[in-house]
Structure 1
Amino acid sequence: MTTVDLLGARERWVRTGGVELCVAELGDTGRPTVLLVHGYPDSKEVWSEVATRLADRFHVVLYDVRGHGRSTAPKPLRGGFTLEKLTDDFLAVADAVSPDKPVHLVGHDWGSVQSWEFVTVERTQGRIASFTSMSGPSLDHFGHWIKKRMTRPTPRRAAQLAGQGAKSWYVYMLHTPVLPELAWRGPLGKRWPKILQRLEKVPADGYPTLSLPSDAAHGAWLYRDNVRARLRRPRADAYAHAPVQLIVPSGDIFLSQKLYDDLESWAPQLTRRTLPAGHWVPRTRPDQLTAWITEFVTAHEDGGPSALASAAAPAPGKHAERFAGQLVLVTGAGSGIGRATAFAFAEAGAKVIAVDRDAEGAARTAELSRLVGAPAAWAETVDVSDEQAMEKLAEKVATEYGVVDVLVNNAGIGLSGSFLDTSSEDWKKVLDVNLWGVIHGCRLFGRQMAERGQGGHIVNTASAAAYQPSRALPAYSTSKAAVLMLSECLRAELAGQGIGVSAICPGFVNTNITSTARFAGVSADEEKRRQKKSARLYGLRNYPPEKVADAVLRAVARNQAVVPVTPEARGAHLMSRFTPKALRAIARLEPPL
């Protein structure tokens, strides 16, 4: 283990309550102060990736909690880590680094637990401008949460208690005498970095620091001095007196999301975010944390009722807590499912890049995305089947907008006609767009996600035709079946890097693909007739693309693998698994054209 450097940090020492706290500062002291508080068994260096990113916009302050890192430990240890003494430490640091203005507080794990104390006690009023909490509830709120479920038990509440009780196994262990100290100063301290890499996908970048064994041994008293006392007698006045942003990692193995069910009653000015990640998000998701902290701090630093209201409700759409502030790229966004998907992400507060070979359609989608809620939206014109053009797009996106968090490979074309009537040129056109366009997107943008090392999600639009054979759609069905299998293979390969992959399989959806689909082996007049008839039939079915867009967002939020959307798509999917002979018999029927 080596020391994680905080490049350009200025160091000072703050004396308080018989200990000396090591404080590091980055950025311009004339800017708003963001104070980062680390958790257990960490030191301030857990924030290094976030801190260096925030320093471009803010005065960033980090300090080693007493007994951790380079800060000294209280003597004796017992009784030296109470929330009251930790609050004294916070006030001493805040007064030293920002004596005239309140600070924007950010806490992770036990840094968040103690920060909830800071933001709810009377003596800190006026010293905290905002609070961002992640992976650490208030012990008072937790105590009331437990009491509510024990005094008014239901099967659901009992299950919630049991679930969180299982996740809290380490709390019981830390209350045992001597054993935690021996473990951390012995084998556990040596193996901890490898454990974090394996279980949490924390990069092997020199973190944790050399002080880990003593940090963890001292930090056991955080639990012993506070947990049982507060859970037995939680404060009744633990109301936040500053705006709160709650960031919940959906894959946190230590904390249930249900812990925050009643949080609005304790924090009236609450903004919720959900992040598909494990517990140590300061190390695994620094870009997303930086974006959300910057947005929240900026809104409350600017002040004014309108700014505060907008920060408390960042976006009106579904899954806003999951996608607000993320960067989403949608191909085929000029119309139909692509446009509806771009709008759905925009309503959820995401930044949208609308890509289409129709420049006017892409521009219109970007313009409307901004109107429906996207904080930013851009239009890019490209033919997804053109590999060089896609490479230029990927390079431009990474340079000008950043690495995308969600990629939706939606662009596609339709082709109907028997196999014997389908020419090699017809096959090439369909495969170039429907398959190679998806391959280009996955390869270029998926590589950027993987190299960034902070996860992401890829959505590929397949079709019910991917698993429902048809004598009339050999080329189209083949292209979509290939997309489905590609998605399954990529999902297996990228899972270890925190990148999800979903295949969306719509059925008959009312979009303009029917009026532009080609029909092989027929005259131009007959093709136009069939296009009009197909469009009319799909119009009568009238399944809106907005429902497919809802399925896309839901698939990303839940990390679903294969998502049949329409009733006929779901029915065909079940038949493909349980009654494939019946599906093959249906495939022999002559289509009504």
Structure 2
Amino acid sequence: MKVRSGDVDLAVQVRGTSGPTVVLVHGYPDTHEVWDRVATVLEKDFRVVTYDVRGAGESGVPSTEDDYRLERLAADLFAVIDAVSPDEPVHLVGHDWGSIQSWEAVTTPGARIATFTSISGPCLDHMGHWSRKGLSIAHLKQFFRSWYIAAFHLPVLAPLFWRLYLGPRWAGVLQRLEGVKVKPARTLTSDAVRGISLYRANIRQVMRSPRQRFAPMPVQVVQPTRDRYIRTEPLDLERWVPSLTRRRIAAGHWAPLSHPAALARMISEFVTDSTPRRELVVITGGGSGIGRATAVAFAEAGSRVVVSDVDLAAAEETAALVGGHAYEVDVRSEDAVRAWAKQVASEHGVPDVVVNNAGIGHSGSFLSTSAEQWQRVLDVNLSGVVHGCRAFGELMVERGEGGHIVNLASAAAYLPSKILSAYATSKAAVFMLSDCLRAELAEHAIGVSAICPGIVNTNITATTTFSGVSSAEESRKQERASRMYARRGFGPEGVAREIVRAVRSNRAVVPVTVEARAARVAGLVAPGLLRTFAKLDVT
């Protein structure tokens, strides 16, 4: 169908016949076809509307560069909305320049828009205000990402480059940069040349004098983690959007082409429930110590929390503290952890953060540690982490929104001791596993951190087992260790704070406590000193 807006006719396509109306607005240099893969998924539950923006595809061509100003583009969008949904507000989704012009619409008072999902296209006014906050690393990074904007302002070279080189090779460019195979629209080159006016008619004018632009409806901002051109995280959107949900997708700039199913799911979820989404954190060994403190720390930061423990009563106490949910899980069993991961995903969703914290202590020389004791330590401290990483990591990768995995290692991972062979080996394996997994999952925007506490006052000292001693002597050693750790005075809350910081900053290795940091440095610059220290009995 054709919709008249000012002096141009817009080519509009409607898919599906029932459900809420979702309007998808394409960017530059695309046409409505960029949404085909997403629309195919959405049309099962929604009435999906796409259209070619002015100057693109089958829509009319404006006569002047001034006709590409944002207010004209917003007027086009309002004309489409009035034509396809005259009585009900629509749910709006924009990508790239489609998002930029959609921001113009949603920040216009009286817009009949129920929700807005923005992908890789900020409000230019918001960008303008942010650019005035002073020079920072984030500003410099965005400046270099936006090099092409300056190129598009070159009067002759930019159009000529599109006509002679970039246009004919666009399919290959997308495949190399985004990993997608797509047949470009037949109008691509002429659309790209005309679309340069989008930049020339708006960028300098808006950035020079940014306006106060507020969006009253719920807004979902989806940031592709491998976007080469724009990052929205630094923008102070909370200032302009009262109801804001931020999400990530492990994709490049053209997410509608490369990850249509994941993007369609995000759109569908937001249309169905537009309340701001809270981060979901899953913690093993959450019944006490570092696990419980971590649950409290994330809950205080506004996260939803799920904990597990072999002691269900202890896990339930933690859950009651944080308003979360508790499960009884033995991390030694892969089947049990996989079943729990599926249950969590079904009842609460795929977690954003997984903290593999469950662990046990053991002390004793290598020769005095039995095969059974070795196996018990490795089953809990290493295999438990492996099972958690695998079960939840698979779910995170499949979801495609990134996330973070935290593995509790120890300063013992790099601080050898003749009386901690089994424990130190298990933690060293967790340390290396974390680095390997971090490299593997980086392309999926999943960070991995190894947390390495030193002497922390938790109940692990009271449950640590000892090789080659009587039960009475083991009790005395447990009491002695507990007193020493208590005198050290560093509680699990300190580790929890570092875990939260590690997730927020995506740190790979986090030594916690002075002795842990000192051992880390010594291991790098003076490993012989640590080998000498290893000969001491520090039970």
One fold, TM greater than 0.5? yes
Aligned pair 1:136/2:100, yes or no? no
**Which amino acid is the alignment partner of residue 109 of structure 1?**
D
- The match for 1:308 is none
Do the aligned residues in 1 keep the contact of 2:290 with 2:492 (CA within 8 Å)? yes
- The match for 2:478 is 531
Q: Offset at 1:256?
A: 5.0
Match of 2:10 among 20, 30, 50: 20
Q: Secondary structure at the match of 1:186?
A: helix
Q: Which moved more, 1:205-214 or 1:33-42?
A: 205-214
Q: Secondary structure at the match of 1:500?
A: strand
- The match for 1:360 is 313
Q: Offset at 1:55?
A: 6.5
- The match for 2:520 is 573
Do the aligned residues in 2 keep the contact of 1:469 with 1:587 (CA within 8 Å)? yes
Per-residue CA shift, 1:396-438, capped at 9, x if unaligned? Answer: 4455555443332221111011222211111010011111112
- The match for 2:99 is 112
Q: Secondary structure at the match of 2:510?
A: strand
**2: distance between equivalents of 1:551 and 1:325?**
20
**1: distance between equivalents of 2:11 and 2:31?**
12
Per-residue CA shift, 1:200-244, capped at 9, x if unaligned? Answer: xxxx47587776555544432321332233334x35454445555
**Which amino acid is the alignment partner of residue 231 of structure 1?**
M
Per-residue CA shift, 1:478-502, capped at 9, x if unaligned? Answer: 1100111111122222323333222
> In the superposition, relative to structure 1, how do residues 242 and 490 fare at CA in structure 2: closer, same or farther (>3 Å)?
closer
**Which amino acid is the alignment partner of residue 502 of structure 1?**
S
Aligned pair 1:588/2:535, yes or no? yes
Q: Offset at 1:557?
A: 2.5
**Which amino acid is the alignment partner of residue 499 of structure 2?**
V
- The match for 1:519 is 466
- The match for 2:178 is 196
**1: distance between equivalents of 2:55 and 2:78?**
17
Match of 1:36 among 18, 24, 36: 24
Q: Offset at 1:67?
A: 3.6
Q: Secondary structure at the match of 1:21?
A: strand
- The match for 1:226 is 202
Do the aligned residues in 1 keep the contact of 2:25 with 2:32 (CA within 8 Å)? yes
Q: How many residues align?
A: 532
Q: Offset at 1:37?
A: 2.6
> In the superposition, relative to structure 1, how do residues 292 and 191 fare at CA in structure 2: closer, same or farther (>3 Å)?
closer
Indicate the RMSD between aligned Cα atoms, in angstroms. Answer: 3.4
> In the superposition, relative to structure 1, how do residues 66 and 216 fare at CA in structure 2: closer, same or farther (>3 Å)?
same
Match of 1:185 among 143, 167, 185: 167
**Which amino acid is the alignment partner of residue 491 of structure 2?**
P
**2: distance between equivalents of 1:387 and 1:259?**
40
- The match for 1:84 is 71
| Aligned sequence identity (%) | 49
**Which amino acid is the alignment partner of residue 116 of structure 1?**
W
**Which amino acid is the alignment partner of residue 140 of structure 1?**
D
1:151-300 mapped onto 2 (5 Å cutoff): 157=135, 162-176=140-154, 177=156, 178-182=159-163, 183-197=165-179, 204=180, 213=189, 215-232=191-208, 234=209, 236-240=211-215, 242=217, 244-248=219-223, 252-255=227-230, 260-261=235-236, 263=237, 267=240, 269=242, 271=244, 273=246, 275=248, 277=250, 279-280=253-254, 283-284=258-259, 287=262, 290-291=265-266, 294=269, 298=273
> In the superposition, relative to structure 1, how do residues 467 and 129 fare at CA in structure 2: closer, same or farther (>3 Å)?
same
**2: distance between equivalents of 1:347 and 1:205?**
45
**2: distance between equivalents of 1:158 and 1:411?**
40
Per-residue CA shift, 1:339-371, capped at 9, x if unaligned? Answer: 2323333444444332222222333333443x2
> In the superposition, relative to structure 1, how do residues 269 and 497 fare at CA in structure 2: closer, same or farther (>3 Å)?
closer
- The match for 1:99 is 86
**2: distance between equivalents of 1:209 and 1:402?**
38
Q: Offset at 1:439?
A: 1.8
> In the superposition, relative to structure 1, how do residues 161 and 464 fare at CA in structure 2: closer, same or farther (>3 Å)?
closer
- The match for 2:298 is 345
Match of 1:468 among 407, 410, 415: 415
> In the superposition, relative to structure 1, how do residues 420 and 411 fare at CA in structure 2: closer, same or farther (>3 Å)?
same
Do the aligned residues in 1 keep the contact of 2:41 with 2:264 (CA within 8 Å)? no
1:480-491 mapped onto 2 (5 Å cutoff): 480-491=427-438
**1: distance between equivalents of 2:515 and 2:398?**
39
Do the aligned residues in 2 keep the contact of 1:250 with 1:274 (CA within 8 Å)? no
Do the aligned residues in 1 keep the contact of 2:353 with 2:406 (CA within 8 Å)? yes
Do the aligned residues in 2 keep the contact of 1:142 with 1:259 (CA within 8 Å)? no
TM-score (structure 1 length as normaliser): 0.79
**Which amino acid is the alignment partner of residue 169 of structure 2?**
P
**2: distance between equivalents of 1:264 and 1:164?**
20
> In the superposition, relative to structure 1, how do residues 246 and 440 fare at CA in structure 2: closer, same or farther (>3 Å)?
closer
Do the aligned residues in 2 keep the contact of 1:14 with 1:23 (CA within 8 Å)? no
TM-score (structure 2 length as normaliser): 0.86
Do the aligned residues in 2 keep the contact of 1:180 with 1:217 (CA within 8 Å)? no
**2: distance between equivalents of 1:57 and 1:141?**
33
**2: distance between equivalents of 1:590 and 1:537?**
14
**Which amino acid is the alignment partner of residue 5 of structure 2?**
T
> In the superposition, relative to structure 1, how do residues 281 and 557 fare at CA in structure 2: closer, same or farther (>3 Å)?
farther
**1: distance between equivalents of 2:121 and 2:298?**
29
Do the aligned residues in 2 keep the contact of 1:160 with 1:258 (CA within 8 Å)? no
Q: Secondary structure at the match of 1:521?
A: coil
**Which amino acid is the alignment partner of residue 235 of structure 2?**
Y
- The match for 2:382 is 435
Q: Secondary structure at the match of 1:459?
A: strand
**2: distance between equivalents of 1:469 and 1:158?**
42
Do the aligned residues in 2 keep the contact of 1:245 with 1:296 (CA within 8 Å)? no
**2: distance between equivalents of 1:456 and 1:264?**
22
